[in-house]
Amino acid sequence: MEKFVLNDGNAIPAVGFGVFLIPADDSTYRAVREALDAGYRHIDTAAAYFNEQEVGKAVKDSGIPREDVFITSKLWLQDYGHDAARKGLEISLRKLGTEYVNLYLLHQPYGDVAGAWSALEEAKAAGKIRSVGVSNMTPNLWNKWVPQFDTLPAVNQVECNPYFQQRPLRRIMAEKNVLLEAWGPLGQGNAKLLTDPVVLKIAEKYGKNAGQVILRFETQDGIVVLPKSTKKERIAGNLNIFDFTLTDAEMQALRALDTGKGSHDPDAPGVGDYLLSAFDVHAND
């Protein structure tokens, strides 16, 4: 497994296993166990995914030493503000059954972001978080919030795939050596992307499927990818991307697919209020 070094010196596996929208009905537990058996050592969850407990149980039951598994979780808007963020983190740690998380993110960039960030910085100093980061920050939101932080985020987790490559955002982040993590790295199953002639031509050359080519393109371009699947074969296949290297010409051909448009616009009016009212992350605590 390839790794990237974050701006705080910690290393992060280039491929993580995402569990967004996998139900907490034993499905998350089974999927994470299969991912760990396949060789994943990076699991990405969140309070708002409602499956932290199954992730933690799967990691524990795998028998893999805790220090060998990189676990990410995220703080939901409901717990923003300094004191609320401290409590939100403690709940995540309890559900995950761990004394620390490797990476903890502010899941959405709205509300008392600065207050929540200060709590994360304190938790990092106390050893409860190894690295801290943000998520869904556009260039506008980055420039609004990050200058208020005492320390820089290690990552920004955003929508990213070959049709939406986040080039303006990446230029801003590169100035501070902040890593981009891609949610929806396969375009959330976008059939057009997965059958794009450019992608399929490269896939045929290397004997890979379209998803593997896309994930290799992204990791080779310096992006951490978080593919999700509940199918055993696909889980394993999404990790089998390090036995080939795309040429410069192939990288340029894939970069040329960028449309600059994604499916989610964090800058749209009312997004923060909508997300805050969407559900209660502590309803079942």
Say whether pLDDT at 134 is over 90: yes
Query: Is the pLDDT confidence value at 276 over 90?
Result: yes
Mean pLDDT of the chain: 97
pLDDT at 1: 84
Instruction: Give residue 145's pLDDT band: very low, low, confident or very high (50, 70, 90).
Output: very high
Percent of the chain beyond pLDDT 70?
Answer: 100
In this structure, are residues 27 and 50 in contact, taking their beta carbons and an 8 Å threshold? no
What would the mean pLDDT of 233-238 be, rounded to a whole number?
Answer: 96
Active-site pick, 40, 49, 104, 163? 49
Q: Distances in Å between the alpha carbon of 83 and those of 108, 120, 130?
A: 17, 10, 20
Given a cut of 90, whether residue 33 has pLDDT beyond it is: yes
Residue 285, pLDDT above cutoff 90: no
* pTM of the full structure: 0.96
The per-residue pLDDT for 43 is 98
Domain ranges of the chain: 3-187+222-229+261-275
Q: How many CB atoms lie within 10 A of CB 79?
A: 24
Q: pLDDT per residue over 64-114, tens digit each?
A: 999 999 999 999 999 999 999 999 999 999 999 999 999 999 999 999 999
Strand partners, 181: 157, 224
Q: Which tens digit of pLDDT belongs to each residue from 174-227? A: 999 999 999 999 999 899 999 999 999 999 999 999 999 999 999 999 999 999
- In this structure, the strands spanning 129-135 and 3-5 are unpaired
- Residue 49 annotated among the catalytic residues of the structure: yes
Q: What is the reported pLDDT for 120?
A: 98
Homologous superfamily of domain range 3-187+222-229+261-275? NADP-dependent oxidoreductase domain (3.20.20.100)
Distance between CA 144 and CA 70 in Å, rounded? 29
pLDDT at position 174, please?
Answer: 96
Residue 144: what pLDDT?
Answer: 97
Q: Which of 92, 89, 84, 105 is nearest to 51 (CA)?
A: 92
- Position 109 scores a pLDDT of 98
Longest CA span, the chain: 54
Mean pLDDT for 33-55 is: 97
CB 54 within 8 A of CB 25: no
Residue 53: pLDDT band (50, 70, 90) is very high
**Number of CB atoms found within 10 A of residue 142's CB:** 20
pLDDT reported for residue 163: 98
Quickly state the pLDDT bin for 284 (edges 50, 70, 90). confident
Torsion region of 2: left, alpha or beta (phi above 0 gives left; psi -120 to 50 gives alpha) = beta
